Structure 1
Amino acid sequence: MRVEDFKKYLFDIDGTILNTKEEISAKTKDSIRILIDKGIEVLLATGRSLQETLQVAEELEFSLLLRLIVLTWYIKGKKSVKITLNNFY
């Protein structure tokens, strides 16, 4: 498989985008830029606050941030999922 075989890439911020020093390495930035330049969508996943997520997105030079809140809960053995579009930035 080639990088171009995928239309979207989803990365977790903690431990994937950010290293153990809470920094984004030059190699990571370059790799993400290559994907974006090829027209591939790059998405971030995190449980971080909006402010922390915006800092990462800005450092990666993302032009759009959608903040989705996904709540999953179990009621009497049945799984329910609620997805809320919270904000555009």
Structure 2
Amino acid sequence: MMSEKIVFTVKGKDIAFEPNQVAYNKMINEMTMENKVAPSHNYLTRIVTPETKEALEEILKLPGAAIQLAGKVNEIYVPDLEIEVKN
């Protein structure tokens, strides 16, 4: 898994994230069928760089922003594994 910075420009503002396995696992463990937004929001606030935290806070006020951003971060952060079934 990557440990480098991931930077997005959202509504004209740069927001940088530094995802890590501890934060990712915590988000996955907090998710339930009824609770997806809060774990995504918390995950993003855990991994955002201090210098872009204010920009993130503004974006997170928008409906659906937390889930969309967390999804984009994880598209880059989480590797695609090739898994084969062997009989």
Which TM-score applies when normalising by structure 1? 0.30
Higher Rg of the two aligned structures = 1
Structure with bigger strand share is: 1
Structure ranking higher on relative contact order (CA contacts 8 Å, 6+ apart)? 2
Which TM-score applies when normalising by structure 2? 0.30
